[in-house]
């Protein structure tokens, strides 16, 4: 009995010890390279001293830390250049740590202090972002939170990015977003260690950047008629409808945005989209077109002006610059000169995508150019244009970049390629020795619907969160050194305001962040989504909109022999229960639970579903008309 008693005591002690040392899983996004949880926790003092260097870059880090920490906690924060006993220390390595390289950091959290080491200020900044993710969700709040215990678990983290190019593209042309809204977008993206904002500044719906030598670009080209509904289907505006919707960034605005981004270790890549997508420029300067009558054109407001139905898109209105017109190159030289002065980043993106060539085919000037330059195809005509632009860009000390269409007629010698039509363009460019940024529609297009189209703003494709998370930016067949990194693209034809822009970006932006930061081969969908869910309340605190679409089921249907539907429901999030109804009522967990494909009753018209986790509803109530499901069945 004595031995049994000792054995039981030993087992109880072991269980108690295990319970005491069990630590909650950390919800860090993107997943760091190495994380070791230790014992204890850091408690934020009521008065905080931060030790940090006084260089301008480090001062940006401490200013960010101080502003965010004091806003949420109300603590008084002092920054000192030398304070070895300070509870928070930001230390630049005197000798570079070869493991961390650029932008990496080591974060140590103990019961006594928080210490971040890095080779550069950017690394300190990313260490601070990780530290904030260790604090309670209220750290993301916009005012002092009451009754919060400001603690962080003890941990040792070594972390560094997989890629140097970690971007989000924000289309501010289709709908204009204010300077304050762009800053808001930057503030959200840096939390997840993005370091590049690609601004799509010009398109058929608006020219958004002031070019002082070409004032009509913004005087005429920056506004259209306000329309609400399904973009691309609007009725043509009447002459008396006011063209007051839109706006542009002055050069002072751009300088302010560039500095705001720089202070947060973000570069801004400007895009001027030519030779296609140039209607706003042509409206301002009709002589840039090959087509007579361009002086009658207006900036597009969302009415149809392209035919996308065939294998090659055709323009109804000629929205292309004329490669045979020398005035076009003078125009582009002026634009690129001012853009190069405004944006310090080493690359300028000059579009090149979706250039309709049917008006070129009718142009005598283009035919003469082809004969003179021995150009055989319209793709070679565009390549001629792109190569001349590359020389202009390089004359300003910048590097030329374009969408993957610039490959088709032959790449310029130093062009960088952004691969969007899948990954093949990137593979082709990399095999030819060119730098590549991957941003394929198949994984990284944030304008795509996030769940079934009955729930989302309708567009031509769906991209679910788990698909985005499965992205591998480096194809097996290329030299990985030529893949600079990756980015996600948010086109805004169907995005009318910043709240919808946020909804479309998050949480898929978190998946992209992990795709381009975390080490290859470390992904786990269930683990990732469990971390994502813990960030949802943080978005609520920050008053940033986030999409709950991952909880919505996917629908598939086939016809039974009696012409009724057999319906399959699939959840991308594991561990959920789905309840349904066909009787037009609103199901909850006391309704039938989906366990296998279900047959729709003969006369039913509507399927409603909702997902639960245990006893708690977690998904949206989804209403699926059965006629909609039937219309999707391939005949």
Catalytic residues: 354
Q: Is 364 helix (H, G, I), strand (E, B) or coil?
A: helix
Buried/exposed 85-96: b ≥16 CB within 10 Å, e otherwise? ebbbbbbbeeee
- Cα-based angle 425, 166, 134 (whole degrees, multiple of 5): 150
Residues 6+ apart with CB under 8 A from 185: 168, 170, 177, 197, 498, 501, 502, 505
Write the burial class of residue 67 (CB in 10 Å: 0-12 exposed, 13-18 middle, 19+ buried): exposed
Query: Among 426, 403, 518, 421, which Cα is nearest to 477's?
Result: 426
- What's the distance, Cα to Cα, between the start and end of the chain in Å? 77
Buried/exposed 208-227: b ≥16 CB within 10 Å, e otherwise? bbbbeebeebbebbbbbbbb
Cis peptide before 316 (omega within 30 of 0): no
Please give the full DSSP string across 487-542, using - where no structure is assigned: EEEE--TT--SHHHHHHHHTTHHHHHHHHHHSPTT---HHHHHHHHHHHHHHHHHH
Please give the full DSSP string across 61-92, using - where no structure is assigned: HHHHHHHHHHHHH--EEEEES--TT-SEEEEE
Rounded CA separation 39/36 (Å):
10
Q: Is 334 helix (H, G, I), strand (E, B) or coil?
A: helix
Query: Among 204, 186, 172, which Cα is nearest to 297's?
Result: 204
401 HSE (CA, 13 A, CB side)? 24
Q: Which two tokens stand for residue 95?
A: 């000798």
Residues 6+ apart with CB under 8 A from 340: 348, 393, 396, 397, 398
Query: Among 514, 503, 434, which Cα is nearest to 472's?
Result: 514
| Count of Cβ atoms closer than 10 Å to residue 533 Cβ | 16
- Return the residue matching tokens 């579009």: 351
Rounded CA separation 399/346 (Å):
6
Q: Is 355 helix (H, G, I), strand (E, B) or coil?
A: coil
Q: Which two tokens stand for residue 361?
A: 């085919």
Q: Are 50 and 124 in contact (CB under 8 A)?
A: no
| Count of Cβ atoms closer than 10 Å to residue 264 Cβ | 22
> Strand ranges (DSSP E) for 260-368?
267-274, 306-307, 314-315, 347-351
- Return the residue matching tokens 């609400």: 228
Residue 367, CA distances (Å) to 288, 376, 405, 537, 545 in order: 17, 10, 21, 60, 51
Query: Among 259, 369, 293, 268, which Cα is nearest to 324's?
Result: 369
Q: Are 205 and 300 in contact (CB under 8 A)?
A: yes
């Amino acid at each position: 009995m004595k031995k049994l008693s000792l054995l039981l005591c030993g087992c109880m002690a072991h269980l108690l010890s295990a319970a005491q040392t069990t630590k909650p899983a950390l919800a860090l996004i993107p997943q760091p390279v190495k994380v070791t949880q230790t014992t204890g926790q850091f408690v934020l003092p009521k008065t905080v001293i931060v030790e940090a260097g006084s260089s301008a870059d480090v001062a940006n880090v401490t200013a960010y830390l101080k502003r965010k920490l004091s806003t949420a906690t109300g603590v008084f924060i002092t920054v000192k250049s030398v304070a070895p006993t300070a509870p928070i220390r930001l230390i630049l390595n005197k000798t570079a740590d070869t493991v961390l390289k650029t932008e990496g950091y080591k974060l140590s959290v103990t019961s006594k202090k928080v210490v971040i080491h890095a080779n550069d200020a950017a690394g300190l900044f990313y260490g601070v972002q990780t530290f904030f993710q260790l604090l309670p969700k209220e750290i993301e709040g916009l005012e002092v939170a009451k009754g919060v215990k400001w603690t962080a678990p003890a941990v040792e983290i070594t972390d560094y990015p997989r890629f140097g190019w970690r971007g989000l593209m924000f289309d501010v042309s289709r709908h204009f977003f204010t300077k304050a809204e762009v800053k808001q977008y930057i503030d959200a993206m840096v939390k997840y260690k993005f370091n590049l904002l690609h601004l799509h500044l010009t398109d058929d719906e608006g020219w958004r950047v002031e070019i002082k030598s070409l004032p009509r670009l913004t005087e005429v080209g920056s506004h259209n008629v306000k329309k609400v509904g399904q973009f691309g289907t609007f009725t043509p505006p009447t002459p008396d409808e006011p063209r007051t919707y839109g706006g542009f960034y002055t050069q002072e605005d751009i300088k302010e945005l560039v500095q705001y981004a720089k202070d947060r270790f973000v570069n801004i890549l400007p895009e001027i989209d030519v030779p296609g997508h140039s209607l706003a420029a042509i409206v301002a300067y009709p002589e840039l077109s090959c087509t007579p009558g361009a002086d009658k054109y207006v900036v597009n407001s969302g009415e149809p002006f392209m035919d996308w139905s065939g294998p090659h898109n055709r323009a109804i209105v000629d929205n292309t610059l004329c490669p045979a017109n020398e005035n076009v190159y003078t125009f582009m030289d002026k634009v690129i000169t001012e853009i190069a002065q405004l944006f310090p980043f080493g690359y300028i993106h000059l579009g090149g995508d979706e250039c309709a060539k049917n008006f070129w085919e009718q142009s005598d000037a283009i035919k003469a150019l082809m004969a003179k330059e021995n150009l055989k195809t319209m793709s070679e005509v565009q390549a001629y244009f792109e190569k001349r632009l590359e020389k202009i860009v390089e004359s300003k000390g910048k590097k030329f970049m374009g969408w993957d269409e610039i490959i088709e007629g032959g790449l310029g010698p130093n062009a960088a390629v952004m691969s969007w039509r899948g990954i093949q363009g990137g593979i082709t460019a990399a095999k030819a020795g060119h730098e590549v940024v991957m941003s394929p529609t198949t994984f990284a297009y944030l304008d795509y619907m996030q769940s079934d189209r009955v729930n989302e703003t309708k567009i031509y494709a769906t991209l679910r969160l788990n698909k985005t998370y499965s992205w591998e930016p480096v194809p097996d067949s290329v030299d990985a050194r030529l893949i600079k990194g990756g980015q996600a693209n948010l086109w805004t034809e169907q995005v009318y305001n910043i709240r919808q822009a946020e909804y479309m970006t998050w949480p898929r932006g978190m998946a992209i962040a992990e795709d381009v930061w975390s080490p290859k081969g470390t992904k786990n969908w269930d683990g990732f989504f469990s971390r994502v869910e813990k960030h949802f309340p943080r978005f609520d605190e920050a008053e940033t909109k986030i999409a709950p679409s991952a909880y919505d089921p996917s629908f598939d249907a086939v016809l039974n022999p009696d012409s009724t539907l057999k319906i399959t429901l699939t959840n991308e999030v594991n561990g959920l229960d789905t309840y349904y109804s066909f009787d037009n009522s609103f199901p909850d967990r006391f309704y039938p639970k989906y366990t296998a494909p279900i047959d729709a009753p003969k006369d039913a018209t509507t399927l409603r579903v909702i997902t639960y986790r245990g006893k708690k509803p977690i998904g949206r109530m989804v209403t699926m008309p059965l006629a909609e499901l039937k219309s999707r069945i391939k005949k």
